Amino acid sequence: MSLMDQSQIIKILPKGLITIPKRFRQSLGLEENGLARVKQNAGRLIVEPVRTLPYPVRSYTDAEIDEFLELDNKESQELKKKGLL
């Protein structure tokens, strides 16, 4: 796709609404009612699709992470002593 094919002039509607052209939505996988991230960078707006997981993700506390890292370190040392790591 040439640079000319990658741009299109659109109208900014009241309240800042814009329509992303269909070919851009399709090529980026932007779906109706989907999420997108908008960033400002060097005088430009960047719109990126946001992918979400279809299942809940567990959050870990700092203490749980510390416990995991300690256990991982201990197991790594034991494997090194046995020559397996």
The pLDDT value recorded for residue 5 is: 64
For residue 76, which phi and psi values (nearest 5 degrees)?
A: -65, -40
Distance CA 62, CA 71 (A): 14
The pLDDT value recorded for residue 65 is: 97
Estimate the share of the chain in helix, then strand, then coil, as percent rounded to the nearest 5: 40, 15, 45
> Which regions of the chain are under pLDDT 50?
1, 3-4
Q: Which of 74, 56, 54 has its CA nearest to residue 66? A: 74
Query: Could you tell me the end-to-end alpha-carbon distance of the chain, in angstroms, rounded to an integer?
Result: 48
The pLDDT value recorded for residue 76 is: 96
- Mean pLDDT (the chain) is 91
CATH architecture entry for 3-50: Ribbon (2.10)
The pLDDT value recorded for residue 7 is: 87
